[in-house]
């Protein structure tokens, strides 16, 4: 298979797999440019979830009857498939409700290692007063607030890597901020606002030299870029199903097997134990150690089908197509008077998204103007208030593409944005 970007004709064929895209909004053809928040689902993914309920619906890891065995096999095959998609082993992938829960799982597990009696292996995750957690100024709240809370619970200090005026990490500061007391370095693989793609391998090497564990928020990278966690060398990664063609309500935590097996559990209860007495319990190895209770079975199966869809299309080809769309977005928006594009400028590697500010018009008004023309975008602070504050804004408008986005849709957006300031009388 060629690694050249998708073509216009191929994208039009792909769109036939997404029924939701073939409708009108306010009498206009839908232009869906909000995949950075939630992607749409191809028919094969929806059919996979329905087929599970029609043919194999049963609790997993809990029964010996035929349906339970079939459900368990499908569930674990889905885990193996998704793990393979990111270059991991199947025992290194934990199902969660979303990426936010996955980060909280880590934070609370590390917190549990900091109190009470834990194994010698678990003590490596313990934090105490004087220890440090390093994040960045471009983080989504999901990769900031859990670490704030972990610092509060343990007495550790939270520090952050600032961004430059160009919307990139100030790499000169990273080595200075990493020190012998840094226990965790948590950062986004790619920014959901700026479109910046961070140098994960470089940052990971610097963190490991300082003895810190690396956690990456891969929500905006795994759906859009070829990602191999083993090649990147990270210790943990989180990502979500609903951003990569799968159903809502499911996410995943990748962790190196030896780390997951040493971590204290987060949620406890059924299906994650070896034995239980009235006084104590023993816990299964990962990933079951972190999967208490009834699991997200149909969602996991559908997510694996989504990953197969992306693999068959070709992740390098998807990334190439979205890079071209991102360049079209950034260059086109930059040419419109009164528009400020956030993040790296034209000609810089970035995701196929662009957040922008319209001079004199609030982002919510921009969003309503575009929605009236059938264009779906995201408005607000995109769960990144500190980043917007650094940029001198309270909100922005974000257009984000995916493998089913066409050049014509980007051109429709650009034409509409060029009319915003005049409509609101801000361009006079």
Rounded Cα–Cα distance for residues 33 and 402 (Å) = 8
Rounded Cα–Cα distance for residues 365 and 282 (Å) = 55
397: left (phi over 0), alpha (psi -120 to 50) or beta: beta
Which residue in 126, 281, 284, 383 is the catalytic one? 383
Q: What angle (nearest 5°) sits at the alpha carbon of residue 196, between those of residues 190 and 198? A: 60
Rounded Cα–Cα distance for residues 151 and 136 (Å) = 15
Assess contact for 160 and 136: CB atoms under 8 A.
Answer: yes
By the 10 Å C-beta count (0-12 exposed, 13-18 middle, 19+ buried), 229 is classed as buried
Classify strands 251-255 and 236-240 as parallel, antiparallel or unpaired.
antiparallel
Distances (CA, A) of 49 to 74, 248, 306: 11, 12, 11
Classify strands 31-32 and 375-376 as parallel, antiparallel or unpaired.
parallel
Token digits for 363?
């982002």
Q: How far is CA 38 from the centre of its chain?
A: 10
DSSP 176-205: HH--TTEEEEEEESB-TTT-BB--HHHHHH
Q: Is 383 a catalytic residue?
A: yes
- Which are the catalytic amino acids? 383
């Amino acid at each position: 298979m060629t690694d050249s970007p998708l073509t216009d004709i191929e994208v039009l064929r792909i769109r036939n797999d997404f029924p939701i895209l073939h409708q009108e909004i306010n009498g206009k053809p839908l232009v869906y440019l909000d995949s950075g928040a939630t992607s749409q689902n191809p028919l094969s993914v929806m059919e996979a979830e329905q087929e599970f309920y029609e043919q194999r619906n049963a609790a997993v890891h809990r029964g010996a009857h035929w349906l339970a065995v079939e459900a368990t096999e499908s569930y674990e095959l889905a885990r193996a498939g998704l793990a393979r998609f990111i270059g991991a082993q199947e025992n290194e992938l934990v199902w969660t409700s979303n990426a936010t829960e996955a980060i909280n799982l880590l934070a609370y597990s590390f917190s549990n290692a900091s109190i009470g009696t834990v194994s010698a292996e678990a003590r490596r995750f313990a934090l105490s007063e004087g220890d440090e957690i390093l994040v960045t100024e471009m983080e989504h709240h999901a990769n900031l607030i859990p670490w704030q809370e972990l610092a509060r619970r343990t007495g550790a200090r939270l520090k952050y890597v600032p961004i430059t005026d160009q919307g990139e990490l100030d790499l000169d500061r990273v080595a200075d901020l990493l020190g012998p007391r840094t226990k965790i370095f948590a950062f986004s693989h790619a920014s959901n606002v700026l479109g910046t793609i961070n140098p994960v391998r470089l940052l990971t090497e610097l963190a490991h030299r300082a003895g810190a564990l690396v956690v990456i928020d891969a929500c905006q990278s795994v759906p859009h870029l070829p990602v191999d966690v083993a090649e990147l060398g990270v210790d943990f990664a989180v990502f979500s199903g609903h951003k990569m063609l799968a159903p809502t309500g499911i996410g995943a935590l990748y962790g190196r097997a030896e780390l997951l097996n040493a971590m204290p559990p987060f949620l406890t209860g059924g299906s994650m134990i070896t034995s239980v007495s009235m006084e104590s319990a023993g816990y299964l190895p990962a990933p079951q150690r972190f999967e208490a209770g009834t699991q997200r079975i149909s969602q996991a199966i559908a997510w694996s089908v989504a990953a197969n869809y992306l693999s068959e299309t070709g992740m390098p080809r998807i990334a190439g197509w979205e890079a071209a769309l991102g360049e079209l977005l950034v260059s086109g928006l930059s040419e419109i008077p009164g528009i400020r594009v956030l993040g790296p400028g034209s000609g810089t590697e970035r995701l196929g998204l662009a957040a922008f500010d319209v001079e004199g018009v609030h982002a919510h008004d921009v969003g309503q103007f575009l929605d009236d023309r059938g264009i779906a975008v995201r408005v607000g602070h995109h769960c990144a208030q500190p980043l917007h504050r650094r940029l001198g804004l309270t909100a922005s408008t974000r257009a984000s593409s995916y493998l089913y986005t066409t050049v014509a849709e980007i051109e429709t957006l650009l034409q509409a944005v060029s009319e915003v300031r005049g409509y609101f009388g801000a361009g006079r």
